[in-house]
Structure 1
Amino acid sequence: MKWGKGFTLIELTVAIVLLAIAMLTITTMLVPNIRNSAEPQYQVRAAALADSIFNQILTRSFDENSDHNGGYYRCGENGADGTLTSCTTLSQFGPDNNEAITGYNDVDDFGAANGMSAVYVIEPSVNSSERDLDELISDNGSYRNFTVNITVDYFVDNDQGIDQTNIIKRIQLEISASRYGPYLFTAYKGNY
């Protein structure tokens, strides 16, 4: 019996077609999984970023008109001099006198007026209202593709009425990472 010296043209064509079908099947199964495999990493990083931001915000005073040195008095009550101090109105939320992030001393400084969100990014544009995320979390750019929207507004416990001493501020973070997200996080700061 004599063996041939190679493959025929028909055998090569069939082999190439079978290989192409196999590669197409593999890529249609794997490529979506590879693309989606990055999402859990972004979810974890977004949660870590939210934790870091909440640590910054929740260590601040409840309100501009509250005692910033230990909470001896709070807004909606009589202050150290005996006069009633009201809580900041929603229209006055945001940084006081365009202060830098390092000067934020109460929860609503991190948001914007009227319950609108403040946008934090790495390297904000010069002529935009964006704020510097690196300055907020003291980071060196490891959240480069992340955008954080911080919204601060009042959340009143309806069971307690509208008395200013039991008002709660709601802090909402909406974090987007590249093309992933948004991831939503919420925390509350009480007037106590």
Structure 2
Amino acid sequence: MSRRGISMKANKGFTLIELIVGMIVFSIAVVLLSSVLLPQSDHAANTLQRVRATELAQSVLNEIWGKGFDDNTPINGVPACGSPAGVACGSNIGPDSGESRNDFDDVDDYDGLNQDSLMLNSTVTYASNYPNYQFLVSVSYIDANHKLIAVVVTTPAGEPIAFNAVRSNY
């Protein structure tokens, strides 16, 4: 109705109580979202670091896998060293004396390879291409015909990830 010819319209707006309840609901939603989303972003970063660590280890293992079992193994691997038709296998683990990174020709030469080593056919170290990553290759005999190749890559977050392969004398 109208009072003195002026129509009265209902006031539209929020009461103080409605505003306070709205702010409380909004703040609870923000807290819940931030507690769910922030850990997810950390998880995504860790996943990317793990992928890079796997990439690094796989590239090193692929290179090692293409080398001979031993210094005394012929180029095509036949006859295998230590076999009745072959020569004796060497017992030396690690690079041969005077052997540079580009001269690694058998699996055990890679023992001790790390992030400060030069990449194959390069003057660049692994550390320059994989900053803040650390890795170490160790090679050991399991028995006379098998060597264990262990590559441990440590991500920038400090998470060590181990990759192992067994190379057989065939």
- Tell me the residue number matched to 2:4: none
What amino acid does structure 2 have at the position aligned with 1:144?
Answer: P
Aligned-partner Cα distance in 1 for 2:121–2:19: 61
What amino acid does structure 1 have at the position aligned with 2:139?
Answer: V
How far did residue 154 of structure 1 move? Answer: 1.0
- Same amino acid, percent of matched pairs: 28
- When the two structures are superposed, what TM-score results if normalisation uses the length of structure 2? 0.73
**2:168 aligned with 1:190, yes or no?**
yes
SS in structure 2 opposite 1:179?
A: coil
- Tell me the residue number matched to 1:64: 71
Matches within 5 A, 1:37-116: 37-67=44-74, 69-77=75-83, 84-88=87-91, 92-111=92-111
Please, what is the CA RMSD of the aligned residues? 3.2
What amino acid does structure 1 have at the position aligned with 2:162?
Answer: L
Provide, for residues 114-167 of structure 1, a one-character-per-residue CA deviation record: whole Å limited to 9, x for no partner.
xxxx2521xx3xxxxxx24xx1496884422322221111122xxxxxxx4xx1
How far did residue 190 of structure 1 move? Answer: 1.3
Provide, for residues 51-102 of structure 1, a one-character-per-residue CA deviation record: whole Å limited to 9, x for no partner.
22122101111112323x333444325788xxx53422xxx31111253211
Aligned-partner Cα distance in 2 for 1:5–1:185: 65
- When the two structures are superposed, what TM-score results if normalisation uses the length of structure 1? 0.65
Aligned-partner Cα distance in 1 for 2:10–2:88: 105
Structure with bigger gyration radius: 2
Aligned-partner Cα distance in 1 for 2:149–2:57: 11
Structure 1's 169 and 39: CA in aligned 2 closer, same or farther, altered over 3 A?
same
What amino acid does structure 1 have at the position aligned with 2:63?
Answer: Q
8 Å Cα contact 1:63-1:106 kept in structure 2: yes
Question: Structure 2 residue aligned with 1:152, among 136, 139, 151?
Answer: 139
SS in structure 1 opposite 2:42?
A: helix
SS in structure 2 opposite 1:105?
A: coil
- In structure 2, stretches of 5+ residues that fail to align are 1-8
Count of aligned residue pairs for this structure pair = 159
How far did residue 3 of structure 1 move? Answer: 3.6
How far did residue 11 of structure 1 move? Answer: 6.2
- In structure 1, stretches of 5+ residues that fail to align are 112-117, 125-130, 157-163
